Structures are given as C-alpha cells and as structure tokens.
C-alpha cells in the first residue's frame, strides 16, 4: 500500500479510538496479531485511564512506516503498574512509529516520558 493509504488508515485508527472505549474488535481491525504487545499496551492503559485521549500533533508517512508525535491525556481511574487510582489528570508527550503491512499495524516503536507520567500521578517526586 502507498504511504498515503497507510497514513489514512492510521488517521482512521486514531479517530476510532481517541476518547472512546477501545474494545478488542476495534483493535483487531487495525492491529495484526504480529503486534500483540501494542494490543496489550492499549488494553492496560484503557483499563487505568478509561477513554483516554491521544492527540496526534504530527503524522509523517514514508512507505510502510507511519510516525506520530502525540500527547496522551487521561484520568487515572484504576490501578496502574501497582499504583492505586489517583483520579489525577495526566498529559504526556510521546512518539510512536507504526510498521504497516496489508493495511494493518504489524510492529511499533514508542517513546514516552514515563518519569513525567509517574510525577503527574504523584507517585514519584518532581525534580527541582
């Protein structure tokens, strides 16, 4: 598929997930079973930060790679990584690159500021 077709698929994937419940059937529509890690990641974050937002700042497409700079926003409603719900709102910048084959995500690489997330949850002290 062309870079622009893959970009449109990712844009639709994000539109179908942002701020909404993320059931497995929606994940299966866009993510191949070759990337079960991404499916598990989404399910963990959806459980802890229900209906979280994923604001795409920039989407760049080249061949079968789609890169997205984003801001993750959510309210910590359930346990996350062993930390009980804080009901705090978090806003975390990040970057994800999707590898596409036959119209589905088959692999990804993601970078987020986990320390900043933990600071916003109040479980790690802020650095002065």
Closest to 26 measured CA to CA, from 8, 11, 14: 14
Q: Is residue 73 part of a domain?
A: yes
The answer to whether the CB of 96 falls within 8 A of the CB of 36 is no
List the CATH number of the domain containing 18: 3.10.450.50
Q: Is residue 104 part of a domain?
A: yes
Radius of gyration of the chain (CA): 15
Mean pLDDT of 101-127: 93
- 124 confidence band (pLDDT: 50, 70, 90): confident
Per-residue pLDDT tens for 33-74?
999 999 999 999 999 999 999 999 999 999 999 999 999 999
3-class DSSP assignment, residue 113: coil
User: For the chain, how many structural domains are there in total?
Assistant: 1
**Is 0.85 surpassed by the pTM of this model?**
yes
Q: Is residue 128 part of a domain?
A: no
Half-sphere exposure of 120 (CA within 13 A, CB side): 18
Structural domain harbouring 39: 3-121
Q: Is the pLDDT of residue 14 over 70?
A: yes
Mean pLDDT of 98-123: 96
Backbone phi and psi for residue 22, each to the nearest 5 degrees, phi listed first? -120, 70
């Amino acid at each position: 598929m062309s870079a622009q077709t893959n970009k449109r698929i990712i844009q639709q994937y994000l539109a179908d997930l942002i701020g909404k419940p993320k059931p497995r059937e929606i994940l299966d529509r866009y993510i191949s079973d070759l990337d079960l890690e991404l499916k598990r990641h989404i399910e963990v974050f959806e459980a802890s930060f229900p209906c979280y937002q994923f604001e795409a700042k920039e989407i760049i497409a080249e061949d079968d790679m789609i890169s997205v700079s984003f801001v993750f926003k959510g309210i910590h409603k359930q346990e996350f990584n062993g930390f009980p719900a804080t009901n705090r709102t978090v806003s975390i910048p990040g970057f994800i690159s999707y590898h596409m084959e036959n119209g589905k995500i088959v692999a990804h690489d993601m970078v987020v500021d986990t320390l900043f997330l933990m600071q916003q949850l109040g479980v790690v002290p802020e650095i002065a």
